[in-house]
Amino acid sequence: QVQLVESGGGLVQAGGSLRLSCAAAGRTLNPDSTAWFRQGPGKEREFVAAVTWDNSNTYYSDSVKGRFTISRDYAKNTVYLQMNSLKPEDTAVYHCAIDLSRAWSGRGYFISEDNYDYWGQGTQVTVSS
C-alpha cells in the first residue's frame, strides 16, 4: 500500500513563499509521475503542477506559472513544490498524487486528476492579504 504524505503548508502573508514536500511510504517516487493539485474553499480541485516519471517535463497551470516550481530529489524520494509570490487566491488544501503507469503523453494527460493512482491527505496553505 502506497501512502503519500504532504508537509510544509502553513499561514503566510501575500508575497511570501512556502515549500511543500511530498514523500511516499511503501514505494519510491522514482520513477513515478507526480503532481500537485489544490482545492480552495468552495472550489473544485484543480491542477497545479506535474513532473513526469522520467523527469523530462514539467507542467504548470497558468495561474501558477512563473511563481511555482516542481522538483524531485531522488536521494530523498521526495517531490517538492516551491511556491513564491503567493497570493490570497492560492489559499487551498494542496494534495500530491502519483501515476504509476509511466505514460508517455502530453500535457493533457498529466493535468487530469483521473490519471493518478494514489493521493495524499493534503496540507493546508493559507495566504493572508
pLDDT digits (tens, 9 = 90+) for 2-16: 899 999 999 999 999
CB within 8 A of 19, min separation 6: which ones? 8, 80, 81, 82, 83
pLDDT at 103 over 90: no
* Under 8 Å between Cβ of 98 and 4: yes
Confidence check: pLDDT of 86 > 70: yes
- Calculate mean pLDDT across residues 64-93: 95
Q: Which amino acid is at 55?
A: N
Task: Report d(CA 52, CA 32) in Å as an integer.
Answer: 7
